[in-house]
Amino acid sequence: MLIDKNVVAIIQARNGSSRLPEKVLKSLAGKPLIYHICNRLKASLYIKQIVIATTENQRDDSLYNFADQHNIKCFRGSEENVLSRYYFAAREAKAEIIVRITADDPFKDSSIIDKVIELLYKENLDFAFNNFPPSFPEGLDVEVFTLNAIKNAFDNAKDPFEKEHVTQYFYRNADLFKTTNYSYKENLSYLRLTVDTPNDFKLAEEIYKRLYKENEVFGFKEILDLLHEEPELFEINLNEKRSELYKKINTN
Residue 96 falls within a domain, yes or no?
A: yes
- Note the pLDDT of residue 20: 82
Residue 106 falls within a domain, yes or no?
A: yes
For residue 242, what pLDDT band results from cuts at 50, 70 and 90?
Answer: low
Residue 125 falls within a domain, yes or no?
A: yes
For residue 251, what pLDDT band results from cuts at 50, 70 and 90?
Answer: very low
User: How far is 161 from 157, CA to CA, in rounded Å?
Assistant: 9
pLDDT, one tens digit per residue, over 115-145 is 999 999 999 999 999 999 999 999 999 999 9
pLDDT top residue among 249 and 177? 177
Residue 164 falls within a domain, yes or no?
A: yes
pLDDT, one tens digit per residue, over 18-75 is 678 789 999 999 999 999 999 999 999 999 999 999 999 999 999 999 999 999 999 9
The CA-to-CA distance between both ends of the chain, in Å, stands at: 38
Residue 84 falls within a domain, yes or no?
A: yes
* Structural domain total, the chain: 1
- Note the pLDDT of residue 252: 40
- Is the model's pLDDT at 250 over the cut of 50? no
Domain containing residue 100: 7-248
The string of DSSP codes covering 53-95 is EEESSGGGHHHHHHHHHTT-EEEEE-SS-HHHHHHHHHHHTT-
Stretch 170-178: mean pLDDT: 97
Plot region of 204 (φ>0 → left; ψ -120 to 50 → alpha; else → beta)? alpha
Q: 117 and 129 in contact (C-beta within 8 Å)?
A: no
Residue 2 falls within a domain, yes or no?
A: no
For residue 12, what is the domain's CATH number? 3.90.550.10
Quote the percentage of the chain above a pLDDT of 90. 90
Report the run of H or E that residue 222 belongs to, with start and end.
helix 220-229
- Note the pLDDT of residue 248: 53
Cβ neighbourhood burial of 91 (10 Å; 0-12, 13-18, 19+)? middle
